[in-house]
Amino acid sequence: MKRVFLIVLDGVGVGEMPDAAAYGDVGSNTLLAASRSPYFAMPNMRKLGLFNIDGVQIGEKEIKPTGSYARMQELSKGKDTTIGHWEMAGIVSESPFPTYPNGFPKSVIEAFQKKIGRGVLCNRPYSGTQVILDYGEEHLRTGDLIVYTSADSVFQVAAHEKMVPVETLYEYCAMAREMLQGENGVGRVIARPFTGEAKRFVRTSRRHDFSLRPPQPNMLTQLQAAGHDVISIGKIVDIFAGAGITESVRTAGNEEGIEKTLEYMGKDFNGLCFTNLVDYDMLYGHRNDVDGFAKALTYFDANLPKLLRRMQADDVLMITADHGCDPSTSSTDHSREYTPFLMVGDRIPSGVNLGTREGFCDIAATVLGIFGLTAECRGKSML
């Protein structure tokens, strides 16, 4: 087979994992929560086998699913975007990335301030939309940067585009990334530019993630080394710090992510097209917006037939997720959940229940197997 399209529905979990209690996520079920909205409709994903996946209790199961399907269990210690994507690529994180429920240590903040020559505001866990409302005016008055974190392993830096040009903000975040290694090696440093006036500040689409460089070998570096194309759509290139990526295009949201994936389906290449659709997590899960989450899922489902029609005889389409982000719980953070996996193509058997997999890393082994490569990383092929 010549091309694999791997699409990540960011944050679309399908029910709590056995160790959910250790993460404060008992009862989380992102897909079930979204399905209770009157705006939820996924008939095309149902045809592929979404409702047939182990443990999924939504609607009626498809009698003859057109795809093969599985429930993915995360082996890594965490529920972070980076950890989830890395595991899909065959990297199992035995230890979680550090988190900072009380803000970053004084030594970290002082070192960052010295590097950038500016002060810092906030320095504690915060909602990304609320933090700019609460600190935006002081930021404009002083020029100090807004630094905050969350339940995830992130060092986030927010600045108004009029006060700090976006490219300068990226430079500051690159400095933070270089500094935050070892025991303070957070999964991601995130630039969060915003615009607007007092009490009406809004984040822009020019967010940029600076991840740790992933261990090698992994699915992406193996494919690249074997001469295959590895195309990133969305924030994949940031999650992997560019390692193993041969071509990338950033997107402003799900709509553009789907459009760019369709464009690449019309191009001639040999390898993997890896797409992240971030809106479920970023716009709806973290804001506890059940209806918005449901509408975004319905939008993807409505576009699924276009993706299927563009597929060629030697193509494989895979659809999965990196963690949960239940919009109906009191938490606004990621949730420790199983994720769905659907695989379809002319040469992929239909209606096969691949069960509950022991790790997201089985995706890596499967993708590499499609291209005749033996995985040098973790995972067991589903082929």
Long-range contacts of 93-100 (CB under 8 A, 24+ apart): 96/153, 97/153, 97/185, 97/186, 97/187, 98/153, 98/183, 98/184, 98/185, 98/186, 99/149, 99/151, 99/152, 99/153, 100/125, 100/149
The secondary structure element, H or E, covering residue 188 is strand 188-195
Classify residue 380: in a domain, yes or no. Answer: no
Q: How many CA atoms lie within 13 A of 148 on its CB side?
A: 19
- Per-residue pLDDT of 268-295, as tens digits, reads 999 999 999 999 999 999 999 999 999 9
Looking at the structure, do residues 110 and 83 belong to the same domain, yes or no?
no
Q: Does residue 375 fall inside a structural domain? A: no
**Domains in the chain, number:** 2
Q: Containing domain of residue 197, as a range?
A: 106-208
Residues 173 and 228 occupy one common structural domain: no
Residue 179 lies in a domain: yes
CATH number, position 154: 3.30.70.1250
Give CA–CA dist 181/184, Å, rounded.
Answer: 5
What is the chain's mean pLDDT, rounded? 96
21 and 69, same domain (yes or no): yes
Pair (85, 230) in one structural domain = yes
- Pair (157, 30) in one structural domain: no
Please tell me what DSSP assigns to residue 280.
Answer: I
Q: ∠ CA 165-171-174 to the nearest 5 degrees?
A: 145
Structure-token match 């996924």, residue found: 42
Strand, coil or helix: 355: strand
Does residue 382 fall inside a structural domain? no
124-150 as b/e: b if 16+ CB within 10 A? ebbebeebbbebbeebbeeebbbbbbb
Q: Is the same domain home to 235 and 338?
A: yes
Total residue count of the chain as it appears in this document: 383
Q: What is the pLDDT of residues 169-216, one digit of tens each?
A: 999 999 999 999 999 999 999 999 999 999 899 999 899 999 999 999
Q: Are residues 301 and 196 in the same domain?
A: no
Tell whether 198 and 174 lie within a shared domain: yes
The token duo for 311 is 């597929």
Identify the CATH number of the domain in which residue 61 sits.
3.40.720.10
Residues 114, 154 within the same domain: yes
The amino acid occupying position 348 is I
**Segment 335-355, tens digit of pLDDT:** 999 999 999 999 999 999 999
Separation between Cα atoms, residue 146 and residue 136, nearest integer Å: 8
Instruction: Report the alpha-carbon distance of residue 369 to residue 11 in Å, rounded.
Output: 26
Q: Would you write out the chain's pLDDT as a tens digit for each of its 383 residues?
A: 899 999 999 999 999 999 999 999 999 999 999 999 999 999 999 999 999 999 999 989 999 999 999 999 999 999 999 999 999 999 999 998 999 999 999 999 999 999 999 999 999 999 899 999 999 999 999 999 999 999 889 999 999 999 999 999 999 999 999 999 999 999 999 999 999 999 899 999 899 999 999 999 999 999 999 999 999 999 999 999 999 999 999 999 999 999 999 999 999 999 999 999 999 999 999 999 999 999 999 999 999 999 999 999 999 999 999 999 999 999 989 999 999 999 999 999 999 999 999 999 999 999 999 999 999 999 999 99
